[in-house]
Amino acid sequence: MSPIAPGTKTAVMFPGQGAYLPGSLSDVQRDDRAAQVVGEVLEEVDKAAAAAGTAAVSPLLTERSAPAVDTLVQGDPERLHLAIYAASLASYKVLTGPLGLSPDVVFGHSVGELTALVAGGALSIADGARLLAARDAAFRDAPPVPGGIYPVPRGAGRPARLVEGCGLARTRIAADNAPRQAVVSGPDDELDALARVLDALGLRHFRLRSAHPFHSPLLAPVVARFRPAVSEVEVSVPHLPVYSPTCGGYYRDVDEIRDAVVHHLVQPVAFRQAVTTLYGDGIDRFVETGPKSILADLVAQCLPDASAVAPLRSRVGFTGLRAALAGDSSGPVLSAVADAVGDVAVEDEPDASATTVKAEVTKPKPKPKAGGLPDRGTLIEELRALYAEELEYPLDVMAPDADLEADLAVDSVKQIELFSRALDRYGLPQPEAALRVTTYTTLERVAGLLGDIAGGLR
């Protein structure tokens, strides 16, 4: 039986990997209405980071010049993981405090389940941060087999059959996210073999930023090292319903919570089934905490009739968060691009965030012959039109030098999808699997990459 009372409709979602944007709280924390709750979260997380021998996390979230995600993945993953946790939790505290949001259930994706348990009252902010630090220590002490994760643009069934048919014994479906997005996790050699099969089938695929094959039995040694830390923290029965996409139900007792925290590294995430279940339980609004719009976009794929809101889709202030909760998704995006390109003005007044800047978006032209690209200037303009149309952004904000992630809040999966569309548009082949498309962070750089790929065909 669902613990959600009749007539209630709001679920709050906590993202995992990828939910990082440099300085994501820079505008929010400057507002007196939010400063105290943001500061309390950042203070607790910084204390846990210091105890673990890690530099303070708060500058990553309050300074726009903070390192990009690729830099942190490669050189400082511990701070990155704590930053993801802190950003989601701080924005949750603002949404449910000064902004008055009253959720009826919370749930998280991957490591976001840990944040959801903190929000639900099962763990303290400090203990949640300590567990994240202990988890990273376990990775250092028991490094797993080198591997990673791939999103595949199909439901989980087809990739699972491909994995089985190819005899990839150590590769698993890590997440069933949406009708057309599954995530595969495995060791490097098997992922390379799978990539060749996907290439032969014409299925676009790119490796995500991930240092490890998460949600895979390959992480069992890490789990063994992590277990003692989980046994040492205080765990309570949540005061707010917490749903688990890994366990497939609501958390009910302390032992179940401890077991889930220990094993979340090796259990697959059934996100699609989770949102469908919650929708059936009466939830029809899903609000994502944390930077960007990773989970809200998945909900939109899974439940077209539900409301999916991502208030911190980009860097916004208190008014932008309020506008998003009120149903105006244009406010946050326009606030971000105003700073990025300087020619779209959205004032920080109660009704100003509802202002929509409209611009005509040019439809992409028919696909040219394989390997044929226009001149550099025309290519950039066509990419601006293509990306603006797919993102439903005003054309004016798609500046050639705007950072797709930091300035325009385009997450890594969406960047990969958009680049695939550009490849299709110009009849170009997929680049080698080792290429990190998301390191090409502006349309100018994307145009250069397309030129390099086209040049290799000559």
Separation CA 142–CA 140 (nearest Å) = 6
Separation CA 68–CA 405 (nearest Å) = 9
Q: Which two tokens stand for residue 381?
A: 């303009």
pLDDT at 389: 87
Q: Which residues pair with 249 in a beta bridge?
A: 244
Do residues 323 and 354 make contact, with C-beta atoms less than 8 angstroms apart?
A: yes
Report, as ranges of residue numbers, the positions in the chain whose pLDDT lies below 70.
1-2, 4-8, 328-371, 406, 432-435, 456-458
Q: Which residues pair with 151 in a beta bridge?
A: 183
Do residues 149 and 209 make contact, with C-beta atoms less than 8 angstroms apart?
A: no
Domains recognised in the chain with CATH numbers = 10-142+219-351 (3.40.366.10), 147-211 (3.30.70.250), 376-455 (1.10.1200.10)
For strands 285-288 and 242-244, give the pairing.
unpaired
Give me the count of residues in the chain: 458
Do residues 455 and 379 make contact, with C-beta atoms less than 8 angstroms apart?
A: no
pLDDT digits (tens, 9 = 90+) for 414-427: 888 888 889 888 88
pLDDT at 217: 93
Cα-based distances in Å from 163 to 186, 200, 243, 273, 422: 10, 14, 29, 21, 28
pLDDT at 332: 42
pLDDT at 330: 46
pLDDT at 411: 73
Separation CA 134–CA 227 (nearest Å) = 9
Do residues 212 and 144 make contact, with C-beta atoms less than 8 angstroms apart?
A: yes
Residue 311 exposure: Cα atoms within 13 Å on the Cβ side: 34
Rounded to 5 degrees, what are φ and ψ at 386? -65, -50
Q: Which residue has the tokens 């690729």?
A: 70
Indicate the angle between helix axes 112-119 and 77-96, nearest 10 degrees.
Answer: 40
Do residues 209 and 73 make contact, with C-beta atoms less than 8 angstroms apart?
A: yes
Tell me the residue ranges of DSSP E strands in 98-146: 105-108
Do residues 275 and 302 make contact, with C-beta atoms less than 8 angstroms apart?
A: yes
Separation CA 163–CA 170 (nearest Å) = 9
